[in-house]
Structure 1
Amino acid sequence: MFEGLRFNHWKTNLDDAGIVTLSLDRAGSSVNAISREVLDELGQIVERLAIEKPAGVLIHSAKPFGFAVGADIREFVTYAQQGTVLENIENGQRVFESLARLPCPTVAAIHGACMGGGTELILACRQRIAADDDKTRIGLPEVMLGIHPGWGGSARLPRLIGAPEALQVMLTGKALSARRALALGVVDRLAPPAELLAEARALLRRPHAQPFALRAKAWATNTWLGRQILAPMVLKQTAAKVRKEHYPAPFALIDVWKRGGSGIQQRLKLEARSVARLAETPTAQNLIRIFFLQERLKGQGSGIEHGIRHVHVVGAGVMGGDIAAWAAFKGFEVTLQDREMKYIQPALDRARQLYEKKLKGADKVEATMRRLRADVEGKGVATADLALEAIFENAEAKKALYASIEPQFQSDELLATNTSSIPLDTLRTGLKAPQRFLGLHFFNPVAQMPLVEVVRHDQLDAGAEKRALAFCKAIGKLPVAVKGTPGFLVNRILMPYLLEAMRLYSEGVPGPVLDQEAKKFGMPMGPIELADTVGLDVCASVGKELAPFLGLELPPGLEDKLESGKRGKKDGQGLYVWQDGKPQKPEVDPDYVTPPDLQDRMILPMVNEAVACLAEGVVDDADLLDAGVIFGTGFAPFRGGPIQYARSEGPSVVRGKLERLAQRYGERFLPKDGWDLPELARSGLDPSTLAPQAESAEA
């Protein structure tokens, strides 16, 4: 059937029953990322199939770990730079539409990750069958890159499962498990992994009829009237979560669906033009850059043996207890030490709650709990490969603890501290093996925050740093190596923002106004709510440590709050009153006029400090700095990080604003060293950030 045709990325087989099996196996790659070459070869194959008319076509992946991770985002970046996004999207649409129009049954057999373009490929088949296991994930996460599905996803999925469910899948970008995909009607059947291809062939011979209720729902929700009724509702729900000016893709997707009529060609044309427009937006360019930066962070621990099996954590408070729980969750043996069992038990209780939420089945929860053991006497130190200290922020207390831990080490154990602000050059004095001592600074809440700062000092061994990076990868965290100066990277950049916001609060600016302005900029949470959430005691502690170094002062009124026991969310009262875990924000006087420079007063100190960190080499380069601040603080992702923000606004413009703020409000706003760095002049997506392992996105 395919005589004379040679393919690099597809394997073809015709069996005695007349069924053609197409195996996607992208050459030179461990995963299937759908490139232009992959699509062009599929186009040739489908053209031949349309002529030969086989009894059926089965499409699956020859890669052991998944079906397809999505489009090749490296190529997408190139198309965006060349202005050829529309042409290449239309090419993919043509190939998939030709597949959809084949006059024979077609089935996609799915295992592992099936994302973005991979999902659009399976949607172009008549039927879909998925491996019934925890590894199968099906999704359309393009909104996370500032675009939306472009190879027919928005045109086909609403017609398959109904608009409300389809829009939810595409607007959230969240992947579906195999069973959830079956329940929604995205796939028609499930099969045991070992029987997937055999069951797929059976499905070709006896196609599965979609339930009438699902067909009726899919039809009703996509009629002209259904779209006019549903679209405003979905728009309102979306606008409550994100701002259109920050993240235009979800709103563009809703508009494309609303305007799409009954004809597939018209829907595809709307979809392609919309994605091409979105590809030109700063939001898409910044989110794609962040994706590559995330892959770069993930790759830092690759190919390195961390040699860690047993982790011993000292300090069972919120941070220490949750670090211990997370390490056990990720498969490590963990011992947790504190002065008395009464301090450890709450950490064990929180761990159980985490496992019950994350794991299915009491047996899995109990197996994980067995890996996390209380250790009041600290006997676990002697057999640990990594000892992590997470006690209160006092340098002398920490050094006294190290003096008791280090003599128990047998060979090349790592000693780490979770300090959030104390310089490691101070903490490493007195150690016998300072070369194996470093910082592993986690962020609260540990289970949700992806970043870990791997903190260096002047005597750290490069091999120890690499082991720490590999350990972070093993527990599913994103590590950024930082210099061990006060506040490291994230707290050093975040603290000027929080302190300036609290100063503004003390000057009489209402908390809700400050929070609203920060969210207008794109921060996920306002600074007043954030200070209460973190704890005013923590803000004061870190602030006292950093303020002299940063040339700042603690805002007035903070100590008074602490003396009256009002530390924020944990006490039910701080800068706000808290009820049921939510701040009760007071009404703002409708006649209140927001100062025009309010946003600059809060945000620009962060940018100023970021430039200073870059100049001082706190991180290795500007891209790592932006990644660290985004994943550590939630800094507006669509802006690309503080350095990227300075570039987009223009370094001279931002510097001028800082100088004017300094004249008006004080020397704390004076531009710091570094504003003339060449890295600030660069703009756009730098190819150097496209890490080798990041050949594709799940999009």
Structure 2
Amino acid sequence: MAEPILPPTRNWHFEIDLEGIGWLTIDTPDAPVNTLSRAALEELEALVGHFEALARDRTLLGVVLKSDKPGFIAGADITEFDAMSDPAVLPEALRRTHRLFDRIEALPIPIVATIRGACLGGGLELALACHYRIAVNDEATRIGFPEVKLGIFPGFGGTGRSIRQAGPVDAMQAMLTGRMLKPGAARGMGLVDKLVRHPDQLRWEGRKAVLADKRSAPAGLGKRLMAFGPMRSYLAKRMRDEAKKKTNRLHYPAPYALIDMFETHGGDWKRMSAAEPDAFVPLMASETAANLRRVFFLSEGLKKQGLRGADKPTFQRVHVIGAGVMGGDIAAWCALRGMAVTLQDLDMARIKPALDRAKKLFRKRLKKPVAVNSAIARLEADPQGLGLARADVVIEAVVENLEIKRSIFADAIGRAKPDAILATNTSSIELERIAEGLSDPSRLIGLHFFNPVAQLPLVEVIRSQFNTDASVAKGASFALAIGKSPVIVKSAPGFLVNRVLMPYMLGAVNRVEQGESPELLDAAAVAFGMPMGPIELMDTVGLDVGRSVAAELGHDVPETSRFAKLVAEGKLGRKTGQGFYRWEDGKARKSDTPSHPDLPALGRELVRPLVDETERAVAEGIVASPEHADIGVIFGTGFAPFLGGPLKARQDNRA
């Protein structure tokens, strides 16, 4: 290899080999992932000027863009977003990047992007400005536009270029959902041109692509037709209808702004890209975007709670005791995430429904028969509990009965490996009570999952007065290892999430008892920004579970109440087909919602007990900080992310 022809840069390394091929490597210093910071883009601007000069001199045959990290480029540097949201700074910064990417695309020599790991947001926009894209076809490679999750949309020309390559339907769906695509799907859409099996092949294939002057073809006419004339307005209307099912424009304006831009400019990809800055700037400066950035940083902060470096544990085997809905689904999730799992209950009749649900989950998430069958093989029925002695993690998930839980751990502590995690999935009982009588009560921690396990990201890692920092951090490490977000919570009745949820749900139930419409209350909560209303949530949780947690937390449920009568009659909500609502095919059948002059204001009134209780929980030290309370309540209850959490919403006078 020749020596670098440029002075050293902090974010890039460039060299030309004996064949005249340039190798441009991004390696963001002192960071686990590559990002396109302002400094990185300024350096790239200088590099592109050299490429242009070398191309004119015919001393550069082409350039291969690659990464020295396991990932490609994770996007723009989000830590700069707050400063960049200034309308006096952002428009010109966007236009400057647009000009840079246009210059890359206009180079007369081929520019080939070789992708491994995450290629997201601005990273994908840069790749689309290159002439050809090669990606590793493995589980680590993910490609997409997650910007909508931060209250914005692609702003470096990616809206138009993705439509050019994938057609309007696929490109808009990718941008509107923020979904990360597997490499095969990205190849099928046209965002990637070639797949290789192993990262070691990228260099060779990049070289071949430069020598062959490979250029990516745009989407065919069949894909592009939906961007023309009246068809574009029809498609835009369908997109808005779909968006309305999931988001409120007042809460999440970005998807609607993107659809509006597509309806106006989507017939010409260059005009679509050129329109980005004007539509992007107000979104970036919005409260929604600022709060979603806050949620992102809080979520990332949770990853620091596990053990790292040489202390980072590995988890290969999990033993779950209790094959009910929670235990069975925890076991299935662990198997999905690659761990060997044994699932124990009294007999096979109790375990089989959990195995059947697990197969459905594996088929839905993994799709490929080989992957599905591997996951099925990793989940083993274990009525005798033989797997307990080999497990790295033992999780109890039986009914909320103190004596049963004590009995299970009295047996487990003598059989489990000395370094195994012993954890209870209790939703409300203090750990000190469960650990009473154990030979070593410090070994018992709480790992409180939320239903549905496969959808809700939170795990409350419960700390008792007996636990050490290391044992709690090990529990957080396990949650991270299975792709969950751990929030460390002090052992106290209801912990954090159930404690703050119960006053909210019971307050709404009491209003129904007094004659108010459950449909109206639920609609008001959704108008405020909750994912579902409190009455539907109570039915989803299960009225028996709700009443049990209410009793544990000291909330009175009168025997004469409708709530108590429904429980007595076995009408427990979604799982029995009848609760406050009648349920069919997993959906609540609701009557028409009565009219109300201000649904969001009513929703704010309904949510107030939740916010009040969150403040009390922080004051009592249940969580380490208001920030942990906010992210815990968002992840555990679905509290409106666009508000930044209950305490942030109160601070902003919005809750």
SS in 1 for 2:9: coil
Q: State whether residues 449 and 631 of structure 1, in contact with CA within 8 Å, keep that contact through their aligned partners in structure 2.
A: yes
Among 342, 349, 367, the alignment partner of 1:342 is: 349
Structure 1 residue aligned with 2:571? 566
Q: State whether residues 150 and 292 of structure 2, in contact with CA within 8 Å, keep that contact through their aligned partners in structure 1.
A: yes
Q: State whether residues 168 and 224 of structure 2, in contact with CA within 8 Å, keep that contact through their aligned partners in structure 1.
A: no
Q: State whether residues 20 and 57 of structure 1, in contact with CA within 8 Å, keep that contact through their aligned partners in structure 2.
A: yes
Kindly provide the amino acid, as one letter, of the partner of residue 407 in structure 1.
G
Among 401, 405, 412, the alignment partner of 1:394 is: 401
* In the alignment, structure 1 residue 196 sits paired with structure 2 residue 202: yes
Q: Which has the higher contact order (CA 8 A, sep 6+)?
A: 1
Q: State whether residues 543 and 554 of structure 1, in contact with CA within 8 Å, keep that contact through their aligned partners in structure 2.
A: no
Structure 1, unaligned runs of 5 or more = 655-699
Structure 1 residue aligned with 2:638? 634
* In the alignment, structure 1 residue 645 sits paired with structure 2 residue 649: yes
- In percent, how many aligned pairs have the same letter? 42
SS in 1 for 2:125: helix
Structure 2 residue aligned with 1:8? 10
Residue 223 of structure 1 and its aligned partner are, at CA, apart by 4.0
Structure 2 residue aligned with 1:34? 36
Q: State whether residues 30 and 63 of structure 1, in contact with CA within 8 Å, keep that contact through their aligned partners in structure 2.
A: no
Tell me the distance in 2 between the aligned counterparts of 1:240 and 1:451: 24
> Structure 1 residues 233 and 202 mapped into 2: Cα distance closer, same or farther (>3 Å)?
same
Tell me the distance in 2 between the aligned counterparts of 1:392 and 1:262: 58
Structure 2 residue aligned with 1:499? 506
> Structure 1 residues 604 and 555 mapped into 2: Cα distance closer, same or farther (>3 Å)?
farther
Structure 2 residue aligned with 1:178? 183
* In the alignment, structure 1 residue 435 sits paired with structure 2 residue 436: no
Tell me the distance in 1 between the aligned counterparts of 2:157 and 2:185: 21
> 5 Å matches for 1:672-683?
none
* In the alignment, structure 1 residue 599 sits paired with structure 2 residue 603: yes
RMSD: 2.5
Structure 1 residue aligned with 2:25? 23
Q: State whether residues 58 and 109 of structure 1, in contact with CA within 8 Å, keep that contact through their aligned partners in structure 2.
A: no
Structure 1 residue aligned with 2:519? 512
Q: State whether residues 25 and 61 of structure 1, in contact with CA within 8 Å, keep that contact through their aligned partners in structure 2.
A: no
Tell me the distance in 2 between the aligned counterparts of 1:81 and 1:547: 49
Kindly provide the amino acid, as one letter, of the partner of residue 619 in structure 1.
V
CA deviations on 1:527-548 (whole Å, 9 max, x unpaired) are 2221111111111111121134
SS in 2 for 1:107: strand
Kindly provide the amino acid, as one letter, of the partner of residue 157 in structure 1.
S
Q: State whether residues 159 and 218 of structure 1, in contact with CA within 8 Å, keep that contact through their aligned partners in structure 2.
A: no
* In the alignment, structure 1 residue 156 sits paired with structure 2 residue 142: no
Among 336, 339, 351, the alignment partner of 1:329 is: 336
Deviates more, 1:117-126 or 1:214-223: 214-223
Among 379, 385, 394, the alignment partner of 1:378 is: 385
SS in 2 for 1:91: helix
> Structure 1 residues 480 and 241 mapped into 2: Cα distance closer, same or farther (>3 Å)?
same
SS in 2 for 1:415: strand
Residue 481 of structure 1 and its aligned partner are, at CA, apart by 0.5
CA deviations on 1:70-114 (whole Å, 9 max, x unpaired) are 111011223236952223222222211111121222221212210
Q: State whether residues 260 and 267 of structure 1, in contact with CA within 8 Å, keep that contact through their aligned partners in structure 2.
A: yes
Residue 2 of structure 1 and its aligned partner are, at CA, apart by 6.9
Kindly provide the amino acid, as one letter, of the partner of residue 493 in structure 1.
V
Kindly provide the amino acid, as one letter, of the partner of residue 60 in structure 1.
L
Among 104, 112, 119, the alignment partner of 2:109 is: 104
Tell me the distance in 2 between the aligned counterparts of 1:435 and 1:501: 39
> Structure 1 residues 109 and 560 mapped into 2: Cα distance closer, same or farther (>3 Å)?
same
Q: State whether residues 421 and 443 of structure 2, in contact with CA within 8 Å, keep that contact through their aligned partners in structure 1.
A: yes
Structure 2 residue aligned with 1:92? 97
Tell me the distance in 2 between the aligned counterparts of 1:562 and 1:418: 23
Residue 221 of structure 1 and its aligned partner are, at CA, apart by 3.7
CA deviations on 1:452-497 (whole Å, 9 max, x unpaired) are 1011111111111111111111111111000111100000011111
> Structure 1 residues 588 and 36 mapped into 2: Cα distance closer, same or farther (>3 Å)?
closer
SS in 2 for 1:33: coil
Deviates more, 1:18-27 or 1:112-121: 18-27
Tell me the distance in 2 between the aligned counterparts of 1:167 and 1:358: 23
Tell me the distance in 2 between the aligned counterparts of 1:573 and 1:204: 64
Structure 2 residue aligned with 1:419? 426
Deviates more, 1:257-266 or 1:281-290: 257-266
Task: Normalising by structure 2, report the TM-score.
Answer: 0.93
> 5 Å matches for 1:9-408?
9-53=11-55, 54=58, 56-80=61-85, 84-193=89-198, 194-207=200-213, 214-217=219-222, 219-223=224-228, 225-260=230-265, 267-303=272-308, 304-306=311-313, 308-408=315-415
Report how many residues are paired: 647
Residue 524 of structure 1 and its aligned partner are, at CA, apart by 0.8
CA deviations on 1:196-241 (whole Å, 9 max, x unpaired) are 23223323333557668x3324654444555444323322322232
CA deviations on 1:35-71 (whole Å, 9 max, x unpaired) are 1111111111111212221554333323241211111
Tell me the distance in 2 between the aligned counterparts of 1:211 and 1:597: 52
CA deviations on 1:251-303 (whole Å, 9 max, x unpaired) are 11122233337777754442112222111111000101111111111232141
Tell me the distance in 2 between the aligned counterparts of 1:520 and 1:247: 12
* In the alignment, structure 1 residue 446 sits paired with structure 2 residue 453: yes
Residue 349 of structure 1 and its aligned partner are, at CA, apart by 2.1
Structure 2 residue aligned with 1:666? none
Tell me the distance in 1 between the aligned counterparts of 2:99 and 2:340: 52
Residue 518 of structure 1 and its aligned partner are, at CA, apart by 0.8
Residue 308 of structure 1 and its aligned partner are, at CA, apart by 4.2
Tell me the distance in 2 between the aligned counterparts of 1:229 and 1:367: 43
Tell me the distance in 1 between the aligned counterparts of 2:267 and 2:391: 64
Kindly provide the amino acid, as one letter, of the partner of residue 132 in structure 2.
Q
SS in 2 for 1:138: strand
Among 585, 588, 594, the alignment partner of 1:583 is: 588
Deviates more, 1:572-581 or 1:9-18: 9-18
Structure 2 residue aligned with 1:677? none
SS in 2 for 1:68: coil
Kindly provide the amino acid, as one letter, of the partner of residue 346 in structure 1.
P
Deviates more, 1:379-388 or 1:507-516: 379-388
SS in 2 for 1:426: helix
Q: State whether residues 146 and 247 of structure 1, in contact with CA within 8 Å, keep that contact through their aligned partners in structure 2.
A: yes
Kindly provide the amino acid, as one letter, of the partner of residue 630 in structure 2.
D
Residue 190 of structure 1 and its aligned partner are, at CA, apart by 2.0
Deviates more, 1:96-105 or 1:489-498: 96-105
Q: State whether residues 31 and 63 of structure 1, in contact with CA within 8 Å, keep that contact through their aligned partners in structure 2.
A: no
Tell me the distance in 1 between the aligned counterparts of 2:559 and 2:39: 59
Tell me the distance in 2 between the aligned counterparts of 1:597 and 1:190: 52
Residue 19 of structure 1 and its aligned partner are, at CA, apart by 2.6
Q: State whether residues 132 and 215 of structure 2, in contact with CA within 8 Å, keep that contact through their aligned partners in structure 1.
A: no
